[in-house]
Each structure stands twice: as C-alpha cells, then as structure tokens.
Structure 1
C-alpha cells in the first residue's frame, strides 16, 4: 500500500524537537498537524433540553418502567429538560392525575423491605432515601407484628434455641438491630421459646 493514501496526522520529528526543547509547553505548532490544516476542537455537548409534549412523553416513558417518588422523578426528568420549573409543574400534574404516587411508592418500599427481613427503622430509612414521608404508611407500620417478624428472622439465622450465653445473645441483638428492629421487638424475639404464643 502506498503511503500517499493515508494523510500524515503528526510530524513526529517536529513534535520531538518541540517537546525536547521545551517541556513546559505541550501545545503543537500549527505545522505539527497536517490534517486538512484544521485543529480538531472538543466542543461541549449541547443540551437540547426537552420541553412541552416531548418532555411529557419522556416522563410517561420513565414512569412506565418503574414507580418513582416525586423527588426522584423530578431529578430524573430535569437532566433532559430545558426548564426546571416546567419539570416541577409537569410532575405535580402527573401526581394530581395519579400517574405518579408517593403513596404507591411507599407501599412498594414497605412490601419489598419487609420481604427482605428489614425492620421498621430500615424501612423508614429507605423511605427517607427516596425522599418520601414515612407518615404515608404509618398505619401499615403499626399493623405489622414486628416482634413476630424479628422472631422469624432470628429462627432463620440462629435457630429456635433461646441463647443463655451473653456473647451469643449480644450477637443476635446486633444482627436484629442492624436489620432495623426496635429493642422491644428484639428482646421478645430472642427470648421467645418454640411454640410459644
């Protein structure tokens, strides 16, 4: 293959001389590049910014994939929007029309965390991370028998035996505390005997 088919991108000799004589200067001279005599400049990406019906369509597309809290939805949409004010108005409208619901998200979080063996403190923390007020599911949290939940988790991890050894008891307490259970529920769980109601 002949060399003439490929444009010469860098003149290595002039680059060597330039960098060899002056280490403080790392810019190439205009004749050091020979690619149509044009310097390629990196342009910052332009934010086209969605507005109107395109922004609304994007919001619906986001909500069809999964439930988002109001705060999460605003954060997700505003990265592609031209105007934050428009995003906030759109999310408020979607919330009023029940396309977006913090109540639904709170119930999903409660169900998911409970299934994973988390206690009320961890559930409240998960809601706080999603910027949802835990008051939305206060009644549901009160209806759950947390001592029973803690007991089932204790059985799964440590078995039915009620520990007499202080170190092993402390280990069970730490485990259940980490899972987000209150001390009252923990003490009932670790002291409950098998077949005891």
Structure 2
C-alpha cells in the first residue's frame, strides 16, 4: 500500500546537514535562542553531536542568531500585553536567555510604574469589576491573580483597593 524504502540507510551527519537544519528551523518557525536551537539540534542529531556547536557558532558569527536582538524584540512584544515586569522576565528565562540579557532588555522598557498600575487596573476591572474589593477572600484572590500576571505586590494592592471616587 505504501511505498516504503526497504533499504533506506540513515543520512550521514555532517556540518552542512546540521547547519542546514538550523537555518531551516529559523526560516520556518522564526527566531530561536541559542540554547533552544542547540537543544533541538542535540535532540535530532543525538547519535553524533560533534557538529552542533560548530554549526551554532557559524550562525552566531554571521549574526543569523542573536540572542540580545531576539530578546529585545520579544520583550517589546510582551510589554504591549497586560502583564507585568516579573512575567516578562519569567517568559524570557523560559526561552533560555541569560540573566544579563534579560536585565538589559527589561531596563530598556519605556514603561513607568503608573503604566503598570493602569495595566493591573485593567485586569482587575475585567475580572473583578470596577469597585474596590472589600471581601478578604475575594481581595486575596484578586491579589494572587495580579501577582501571577507579573505585577509587584504594591501595584497589585493599589489596583485591588483602587476606587475611582478617590482620585
């Protein structure tokens, strides 16, 4: 029924094949961090990983892979969403960026504490209404929700107890 290759021998692993795979991944799916791309190459070419580092270094030298550029673009994209600084840092860490790159990218954000307060307030109003929360259990739930979205405790507390009549 299916034409199966009976005597198909596995392809030989070479520098060009590994490099081609990495370039194909970037072209097909977009940017990757160095760590993630190396993990994917090590997974596919687990029988012989001697070319993986060399192919990665080749792409880094030619600026095809640039962690700081990718992290900066990702940081800007994440800052437009209604999440706080801590959540942005977490998402960058999960992508495999170093702490130095993460701190540099977060430092370049042009957002102030009032911007994060507004984002936290939008989330609070969307989920819990626009009145200040008086019930302790509901207040704790709202605080946990905002803190899980990456906002600091002080900003979350201000948003939860915010009353439009006071300001």
TM over 0.5: yes
Superposed, 1:55-74 pairs within 5 Å as 55-65=18-28, 66-74=30-38
Out of 15, 23, 26, the position equivalent to 1:52 is 15
| CA deviations over 1:162-191 (Å, ceiling 9, x no partner) | 122222222211111122211011122223
1:100 corresponding residue in structure 2: 65
Which structure would you say has the larger Rg?
Answer: 1
Identify unmatched segments of 5+ residues in structure 2: 1-7
Change (3 A) 1:80 1:185: same
Preserved contact between residue 109 and residue 126 of structure 1 (Cα < 8 Å): no
What SS does the aligned partner of 2:44 have?
coil
Between the two proteins, the alignment pairs up a number of residues equal to 153
Per-residue deviation, 1:73: 0.4
Preserved contact between residue 15 and residue 52 of structure 2 (Cα < 8 Å): no
Identify unmatched segments of 5+ residues in structure 1: 1-44
Instruction: Give the TM-score normalised by the residue count of structure 2.
Output: 0.75
Matched, 1:110 2:75: yes
Whole-Å Cα distance in 2 between the matches of residues 149 and 179 of structure 1? Answer: 10
Out of 152, 156, 169, the position equivalent to 2:139 is 169
1:159 corresponding residue in structure 2: 129
Whole-Å Cα distance in 1 between the matches of residues 108 and 140 of structure 2? Answer: 30
How large is the RMSD of aligned CA atoms in angstroms?
A: 2.7
Q: Which has the higher contact order (CA 8 A, sep 6+)?
A: 2
